[in-house]
Amino acid sequence: MKNYADFSSEDFLTDPLFRAWVLDQHEEAKLFWEQWLLHHEDKSLIVANAAAMLLALREKVTLPTNAEIENQVESTLRLIKQDKGSLKGNINWLRIGASMAAILCLTMGIRWFFQPGFLPGFQLGSVQQVQEYKSEIYAFHENDIIRHNEGNQPETIRLSDESTVVLYPESELRYPSEFGKGSRAVHLKGQGFFEVTKDPDRPFIVFANDLITKVLGTSFTVTAYENESQTRVSVKTGRVSVFSSKDQAGVKKLNSKEMVGVILTPNQEVIYGKEEPQLRKRIVEDPQIIAPVPPQLTFDETPVTEVFAMLEKAYGIEIVYDEKVLANCFLTANLTDVTLYQGLDLVSRIISARYEMMDGKVIIYSKGCRGIQ
């Protein structure tokens, strides 16, 4: 994979993914660069320069006034004169180069690139607005209640909206005595299991380390111990939205009903590492049955596609496979009292297939059965 952190403005000009974002507003490219810039804020000027150049080459831009250019040129000339008295090797070319780059940005219409509504993530003032908003919603208040679990057993906390939190040992929960009208926000250190009362008009928000979890009504676990390298959000029921606190788009929509970031469903979880700040979606280690199933899961010459459909419904986990390839595969087996993984292992052996977990789904690979039963 390319190391964009080492790219110059010229390198970005010829990069296909960068051009797809700036020139074509390609959705996947847009999402990639917005996330990349959140973690490489020091590269914003280089990226902006490159984007301005691309746009200037394609479109007619509004040029700066003569006075603006003359002021920048005069500033650059003053820098050169100041350094003339120095030894040749000590001339501050970095300062001069930066000033020349500023002239280039003016003449290439970089101000137009930053006009509101053009490229999300580069709007003037957007970063400041988000920071101010985050400060407001992250703020602690005098009426907040702080609960520490210093014992050896989990403790149950009932919140003002009738939601409950099972707070595990060595954990802390901070929450208001009464939730406001806009949203329901709590702060967690450690581990907590949340059963949230449904309220479509007031999202329930959990701040934990660098992750934000947003739901309307569901049950899930957040594990965010400060001394551990990873933060984890696991879903038991319902749908959960998880995103980084650096995600400007997500923060702006905290109080809305819209689900942003990574969307989790039952038996899925997301892992976020401190050293590798990426959201990785996967299936939980011990998936639980979430839908009614017969007491005895016995199959006799049953099409394997029906078995996979039953497992999908039972665990709420999508199983991806090619129906045509598996059309001649049938299963005779007893899956009563086995885990999801044990069942998948058994079925895979019988039909000569293999499976893997990817992005919170089960992917089945098979060449077909050719009469094997």
pLDDT at 135 over 70: no
In tens, the pLDDT along 83-92 reads: 545 444 444 4
123 or 365: whose pLDDT is higher?
A: 365
Position 180 scores a pLDDT of: 80
CA–CA separation, 260 and 140 (whole Å): 24
Question: Is residue 364 within 8 Å of residue 324, measured between CB atoms?
Answer: no
Residue 120 has pLDDT above 50, yes or no: no
Residue-wise pLDDT tens digits, 144-153: 889 999 999 9
- What are the Cα distances from residue 202, in Å, to 163, 187, 189, 205, 283? 12, 16, 23, 9, 28
204 vs 37, higher pLDDT:
204
In this prediction, residue 128 carries a pLDDT of 47
Residues 6+ apart with CB under 8 A from 222: 188, 191, 192, 194, 206, 208, 211, 213, 231, 232, 233
Tokens matching residue 76? 């650059």
| pLDDT score recorded for residue 65 | 52
In what helix (H) or strand (E) does residue 320 lie, and over which residues does it extend? strand 319-320
Would you say residue 115 has pLDDT above 80?
no
Examine the pLDDT at 24 and tell me if it is beyond 50: yes
d(CA 236, CA 321): 25
Reported as a pLDDT band with limits 50, 70 and 90, residue 39 is confident
> Is residue 109 over pLDDT 70?
no
d(CA 171, CA 174): 10
> How crowded is residue 337: how many other Cβ atoms within 10 Å of its Cβ?
9
Give 18-77 as a DSSP string.
HHHHHHH--HHHHHHHHHHHHS-GGGHHHHHHHHHHHHHHHS--PPPPHHHHHHHHHHHH
Rounded Cα distance, 78 and 80, in Å: 5
Average pLDDT of the chain, as a whole number: 78
Whole-number pLDDT of residue 10: 77
d(CA 231, CA 11): 35
Q: Report which residue type is found at 165.
A: V
Q: What is the pLDDT of residues 178-198, one digit of tens each?
A: 888 777 899 999 999 999 999
Determine the pLDDT at residue 81: 54
Rg (C-alpha) for the chain, rounded Å, is: 28
> CA-CA distance, 125 to 127, in Å (whole number)?
6
Question: Domain boundaries in the chain?
Answer: 4-122, 137-283, 298-365
- Which helix or strand (DSSP H or E) is residue 113 part of? helix 110-113
Instruction: Please indicate whether residue 277 or residue 167 has the higher confidence score (pLDDT).
Output: 167
**For position 91, what pLDDT does the model report?**
43
The distance of Cα 9 from the centroid of its chain, to the nearest Å, equals 27
Examine the pLDDT at 294 and tell me if it is beyond 50.
yes
Average pLDDT over residues 108-127: 41
Tens digits of per-residue pLDDT, 241-277?
A: 999 888 877 777 777 777 888 999 999 999 998 777 7
Amino acid symbol at 369: C
Which CATH number does 137-283 carry? 2.60.120.1440
Other residues' Cβ atoms within 10 Å of the Cβ of residue 7: 18
Which CATH architecture does the domain made up of 298-365 adopt? 3-Layer(bab) Sandwich (3.55)
Confidence band, pLDDT 50/70/90 cuts, at residue 173: very high
Q: What is the per-residue pLDDT for 33?
A: 79
% of the chain residues with pLDDT over 90: 37
- In this predicted structure, the answer to whether residue 140 has a pLDDT above a threshold of 60 is no
Q: What percent of the chain has pLDDT over 70?
A: 74
d(CA 168, CA 157): 11
